[in-house]
Chain A
């Protein structure tokens, strides 16, 4: 048995009798990963972090987001800045366009912050029916938000 010979697993035994792993292939892999990561590295980053509960729609838009009042519409809930506000199931079948919980939340926050902005950012799950989006937009417009933008995943 030749102990100095490399095995099929890339392990070899040195003359001192200890096994030494062949790190060459591992270095190759690491170098490839490193090149890939440096290539994809972005110094700009994302100013806005999409909510983890949402699967945002894909778009060809390239306009960079700016910080605004954020309203998140998940499949089952309406949230703002991570705070649960209302359940979408409760309002999906209603005729009324206004979501009272969202309206009062927006009004309260606006009063506390003494903010007069009219810009709102909607983060909406891609599978949410338009009926819910419409109600959220209507409620926001009642709370004096009239300039909307929607967060999307930029298509590569």
Chain B
């Protein structure tokens, strides 16, 4: 009596060849699935950033009476970036060869936010005043920095050449 039952009972195909799995249906299913998923795929996610206009622009006129309240302002220009409170230039960060000092701006903003908290009635508000020639992506970058620094309300405005002189 032979001990090996497996060898005796092994099923072979009729031709005696090894069976091959037919993967054509699997391929068909894959092609359909991949096509469907590619058509439904979202490769870029969009988001929004909210901002307001300065209170003295357009229909959104500031109805509040009395002295204007001080807000920190970031001046964005192709010559320098500045942090301004009222008409006082607190920091000036030169733009060298078109490279904006965003890292320095973030650090300075953090510091100035703490310093000006007692003077400023709007600790979470900031105005970004940009010069006309600045590309919009740079303004968005500054808005990102302001938001990450803790300013939840961002206003957009137009910058003067010299913030201290107001011109």
Do B48 and A149 have beta carbons less than 8 Å apart? yes
CB distance from A148 to the nearest CB of B (A): 5
- Give complex CA distance A153, B30 in Å: 31
What secondary structure prevails in chain B residues at the interface with A? mixed
Do B139 and A41 have beta carbons less than 8 Å apart? no
Do A130 and B136 have beta carbons less than 8 Å apart? yes
CB-contacts of B76-121 with A (<8 A):
none
- Give complex CA distance A61, B47 in Å: 6
Do B140 and A57 have beta carbons less than 8 Å apart? yes
Contact of A27 among B26, B38, B40, B60 (CB under 8 A): B26
A108 CB within 8 Å of chain B: no
Do B42 and A30 have beta carbons less than 8 Å apart? no
- Give complex CA distance A67, B53 in Å: 20
Do B48 and A64 have beta carbons less than 8 Å apart? yes
Scan A118-146; emit 1 where CB is below 8 A from any B CB, else 0: 00010011111111011001101110101
B164 CB within 8 Å of chain A: no
Do B137 and A65 have beta carbons less than 8 Å apart? no
Q: Looking across the interface, which residue of chain B has its beta carbon closest to that of A30?
A: B30
What number of A-B contacts does a CB cutoff of 8 Å give?
A: 156
Do A151 and B51 have beta carbons less than 8 Å apart? no
- Give complex CA distance A45, B140 in Å: 24
CB distance from A132 to the nearest CB of B (A): 8
Do A59 and B50 have beta carbons less than 8 Å apart? no
A3 CB within 8 Å of chain B: no
Do A30 and B27 have beta carbons less than 8 Å apart? yes
Do B59 and A144 have beta carbons less than 8 Å apart? yes
CB-contacts of B1-46 with A (<8 A):
17, 23-24, 26-27, 30-31, 33-34, 37-38, 40-46
* Chain B neighbourhood of A42, CB < 8 A: 41-42, 45
CB distance from A60 to the nearest CB of B (A): 5
- Give complex CA distance A15, B132 in Å: 76
Contact of A34 among B33, B49, B60, B141 (CB under 8 A): B33
Do B42 and A63 have beta carbons less than 8 Å apart? no
Do A59 and B47 have beta carbons less than 8 Å apart? yes
Do B136 and A127 have beta carbons less than 8 Å apart? yes
- Give complex CA distance A47, B160 in Å: 38
A11 CB within 8 Å of chain B: no
Contact of A126 among B27, B37, B135 (CB under 8 A): B135
Q: Looking across the interface, which residue of chain A has its beta carbon closest to that of B53?
A: A141
* Chain B neighbourhood of A62, CB < 8 A: 47
B58 CB within 8 Å of chain A: yes
A114 CB within 8 Å of chain B: no
Do A126 and B136 have beta carbons less than 8 Å apart? yes
A147 CB within 8 Å of chain B: yes
Q: Looking across the interface, which residue of chain B has its beta carbon closest to that of A121?
A: B48
Q: List 8 contacting pairs A-B, 8 Å CB cutoff, sorted by A.
A: A30-B30, A34-B30, A41-B40, A65-B47, A129-B134, A147-B52, A149-B50, A153-B44
Which residues of B does A touch, CB under 8 Å?
A: 17, 23-24, 26-27, 30-31, 33-34, 37-38, 40-53, 57-60, 130-137, 139-141, 143-144, 147-148, 156, 158
